Structure 1
Amino acid sequence: MVLLSAVLLAQALSAAVSEPPSKWQVGRFTGVCESISQAVSSASSVYWPGSGEAYDADIFHYATSSSSQAACSVEPGKAEDIAMILGILAENKTPFAVKSGGHAMNPHFSSTSGVHISLSRFNEVTYNAEAKTAEIGAGLIWDDVYAALEPHAVNVVAPRMSRLLLLLKFTILKGGFNNFGIVTKFLLDTHPQPEVWGGSLTIAAEFFAEVNAATAQFSQTAVDPKAQIIASYGYAQGKLISSIMLFYDDPEPPKGTFDAYLVIPYLAKDVKTRSFLDLVRSAPSNGTQGLRGIYHTVSVIEYTDRVLNAIINETSFWGERLASGPAVMAYSSEPFLQTIFSHAAPNSSAYPPNRAIAPSPLSISYAWNDSSADEAMHSAARESAGQLTRVLSSEGQNVKDTALYGNYAIFGTPLERIYGSNLPRLRMLKAKYDPNGIMGLTGGWKF
């Protein structure tokens, strides 16, 4: 369930916004900020570069390469102020960004040199025990949501990573990103949440064959919807290493569920019965915050031994060439059950366009420190995805018919590769709900 309590773009806004602002308009951004400051209610605030912690927090992103110095940051306190802000931005054709917390890895997808809108004041969680729902502000990070719901022994279907931020994905059609308006609250169904079993294993490269065998077995035979693994291969500080995340949505997994992993010799182990919040906060992926970063992806139907070896080869190849200093290369396999997309009707969401196919998104994740390496890292991520796609094709996996996951896909990915046959419908909805192209002044995937 999604509550669109936010801003429906009024068709009465007359500004026609079809082109990005030209360079001569940049000087107008400060004046636009002043207009917003004078127009919004006392529930909202405007902050300026150099003004202190509030501005810095507003433009902060998990990856430093995703942050931009904005002309001002705006923290709207109510939806009515957002509508007023959008009207001013449309009238002046001013670029803007919408950030709930800043986990977008693609540069400029939620940052701007224009007006930066931070949803940090929409930060409450309200649990309704009778309706079994939770109303969640879009400015929260998921840790805060899990912590608020934990005393009620309930949870919502949400991400696995600590510090991951609420993303503005669910608008007119689930998966539409920020094409139709700004969401300030979500109304989500809750489910009973017992303690869970899981955590991480860290395994040296000499045992990668055993990791591959366990992952291929899980990919090909797993049928328990409570069980999930993420097998990551990483390169850092001159070494290849594997990190395995194990998860079972109960205090103990049935015997044999993860035995193939648990018998592999490990360098470190943190697997136990714990709260869901504790499990999420233990995830090793939290270590790259504050570096530059990029994601890319390929869609995998089945993780075979050959596919997994190709992933290891890519990790090693690019790690040896690019992972100097604090740089980290990681390839994370997330084998889904083949029934994963069968729980909703066809055409119930923008992604995936074909629910008869159950692709698992392989995450290609690079983190580095030196801005001069940006282009090389972006090019490597694209080239690596291309090589893995060729391997998948040679394995008979019909990658042309498998959509790419938009949260992982690198900027510049053709929209057809994410939305497939749903793209015409999305463009029709875009024309209907945002006829003046106001949301085209933001970054991100644009219909």
Structure 2
Amino acid sequence: MARLILSSFVLLAVTQLALALDASPLGNYARVCSQIARIVAPSPVYYPGSPNFQWLSSHWSGSSSQLSACVVEPRSASDVSKILAQHEPHLPGGHTANPGFSSTKGVHISLNSLRSIRYDRFSKTVEFGTGVIWDDVYAALEPYGVSVVGGRNTGVGVGGFTLGGGYSWKTNQLGLTIDTVTAFELVKPNGDVVTVTERSDPKLFFALKGSQNNFGIVTKITLKTFPQGPVWGGMITYVGDEPIAAARAATAKFANGVSDPKASIINSFILSQGTPLVVLQLYYDGPRPPAGIFKDFLDIPAAATDVSTRSYISFVQSVPVNASYGVRGYFEAIPVTKYTPKFLDLVSNTLASTSAEFANTSYLSTSVAIEPFLPTIYSHNTTPSAYPFDRSKVFQPCNLAMSWTNPAEDKIFEQGIKKVRDTLYAGLIEEGQTETRTAPLYSNNAIWDTSFTRIYGSNLPVLKTLKAQVDPSNVMGLAGGFKIPI
């Protein structure tokens, strides 16, 4: 049985939405590669040893990569449709950097060539193919003085980021990325290519906003645009006990005291090969922040700083996340009700203990990204969405990450990241944040064995009904990822 895996390079992606097609259990990969090549010609098919094969099948997280039999690069939604129609009902999907979610030992289908970007001045929207990264979208829109609610770091793919929800530097002002979508071009599991909008198919439009790859393959996305001028911000690095303690205090104060929707931060507490440090990203959606709003951070002695008034794309590209391309790594999501000083102290103390635990391994780092948002971010949405399944209360995203280099140690670090996660959960519950155990979990960060009930929650019944209608053969259910059961 052939099988397809829809994948998206989410947080720190270096390419784009992708698919993979496994050959039959008999392992006749060469036959399937040839068959695909005939179906989609002249779209190219690449094999191991080709530079294009290496690039298109690689992942930001090395632990997500597998050696495929070949990579096919369809150049249109029609090509994708031909593949689905030819191999239906043997198609699945996947997402994020989780092992097996976005790679295959069979035939990998990359959407890299779907790179069109078109800005419509009349409707103030931008339509782009899911082969682009957010940097491409920002660069294309900059001459028009507009931007979108998109990814926060360089190299992030648009597809999986959007379909999972999308937290942006503009989320305090405008909501999640899915709250600004006006249309999806979707290749359904039966091969039909359709444009899905709130008017044309409100149920499917709802489902695509947060359910990842469960309903087919999205090949284009249309977003609202918003005026964009120069912004202020950049990266600051703190090293040493006193600066890090001051950064914890400033982070708690900012998270619980700053209400200006133009202001935002990501503060990553990191243990890197035994050295604790903090990497802070400051953002203000304007050329200068109000006096004092970031003063506590700016007063801390910094090991390095890169904060200035700059273009939006310059700001997004100011943090060199791709410097760690190719290392092995896992992510985990932890929803937080409130970033308290006690919790931030626990983060630092927990990170400090991990170095000794992984002595004599290829351990590189553990990080916890603190991402405070305003309690009003879900109010910007005017139509329902699959994520989050409960908009009555905002849980702050908190992303845990761990990295290493030796493939033989993957299981060690799976256990390690879960141990850190459980320690942080226990601390939140101890201080009364008991809802964190049942809160909506952000699928773009969640580790692979998370229960789908934590992803879809109370939306699951309606999603299951729609899934049975759109994909009665459960084609996408053969995929990796957080699947909606029928």
> Same-fold call, TM > 0.5?
yes
Would the alpha carbon gap of residues 23 and 183 (structure 1) be closer, same or farther in structure 2, given more than 3 Å must change?
Answer: closer
Is the 2:337–2:395 Cα contact (8 Å) retained in structure 1?
yes
Match of 1:222 in 2: 258
Q: In 2 relative to 1, CA 22–365 (structure 1 residues): closer, same or farther, beyond 3 Å?
A: closer
What's 1:146 paired with? 138
Deviations 1:209-265 (A, max 9, x none): 211111111111121111001111111132100111100011100111111111111
- Give RMSD over aligned pairs: 2.0
CA contact (8 A) 1:35 1:88 kept: no
Match of 2:215 among 180, 204, 226: 180
Q: Decide whether the 8 Å contact of 2:116 with 2:129 is kept in 1.
A: yes
Distance 1:251 1:62 in 2: 32
What is the CA-CA distance between 1:315 and the residue it aligns to? 1.4
Q: Measure, in 2, the Cα distance between the counterparts of 1:432 and 1:127.
A: 33
1:26 & 1:196 partners in 2: Cα distance?
Answer: 55
Instruction: Tell me if 1:163 matches 2:155.
Output: yes
Q: Is the CA contact 2:94–2:481 (under 8 Å) kept in the aligned structure 1?
A: no
Answer yes or no: is the 8 Å Cα contact 1:231–1:242 preserved in 2.
yes
Query: Given the superposition, is the C-alpha separation of residues 87 and 123 from structure 1 closer, same or farther in structure 2, using an over 3 Å criterion?
Result: same
1:28 Cα deviation after fit = 2.9
Corresponding position of 2:15: none
- Does the Cα contact within 8 Å between 1:59 and 1:67 map onto a contact in 2? yes
Q: Which residue number in structure 1 is paired with residue 47 of structure 2?
A: 48
TM score, norm. by length of structure 2: 0.82
Structure 1 residue 163 displacement after superposition: 0.9
Q: How does 1:39-438 map to 2 (within 5 A)?
A: 39-42=39-42, 44-50=43-49, 52-90=50-88, 93=90, 104-168=96-160, 169-170=162-163, 172=204, 173=207, 174-206=209-241, 207-322=243-358, 327-345=364-382, 348-397=384-433, 398-438=435-475
Q: Aligned partners of 1:353, 1:205: CA distance in 2, in Å?
A: 41
The 1-side partners of 2:287 and 2:404 are apart by 37
Query: Could you state the TM-score of these two structures normalised by the residue count of structure 1?
Result: 0.89
SS at match of 1:183: strand
Q: Aligned with 2:397: secondary structure? A: strand
SS at match of 1:27: coil
2:159–2:218 Cα contact (<8 Å) kept: no
Offset at residue 48 of structure 1 (A):
2.3
Which segments of 5 or more consecutive residues in structure 2 lack a partner in the other structure? 1-20, 164-183, 185-203
The gaps in structure 1 that reach 5 residues or longer are: 1-20
Quote the residue 2:31 is aligned against: 31
- Once the two structures are overlaid, the 10-residue window that deviates more, 224-233 or 28-37, is 28-37
Report the residue type matching 2:44 in the other structure: S
Are the equivalent residues in 2 in contact too, given 1:47–1:72 (CA < 8 A)?
yes
In 1, Cα distance between the equivalents of 2:365 and 2:313? Answer: 26
Read off the aligned partner of 2:371 and give its amino acid letter: E
The letter for the 2-side match of 1:48 is: Y
CA contact (8 A) 2:273 2:355 kept: no
Q: Number of paired residues?
A: 418
Read off the aligned partner of 1:328 and give its amino acid letter: S
Conserved 8 A contact 2:335-2:441 = yes
- Identity over aligned residues, as a percent? 40
Q: CA separation in 2, counterparts of 1:321 and 1:200?
A: 30
- Tell me if the contact between 2:148 and 2:223 (Cα under 8 Å) persists in the aligned partners: yes
Q: Following the alignment from structure 1 to structure 2, what is the Cα–Cα distance between the partners of residues 277 and 322? A: 37
- Could you say what secondary structure the match of 1:300 adopts? coil
CA distance in 2, matches of 1:317, 1:339: 36
Q: Contact 2:22–2:29 at 8 Å: present in 1 too?
A: no
For residue 378 of structure 2, give the secondary structure of its aligned residue in structure 1.
coil
CA distance in 2, matches of 1:22, 1:81: 17
CA pair 314-233 structure 1, distance change in 2 beyond 3 A: same
Q: Shift in Å at residue 38 of structure 1?
A: 1.3
Partner of 2:167: none
Distance (Å, rounded) in 1 between the aligned partners of 2:400 and 2:97: 12
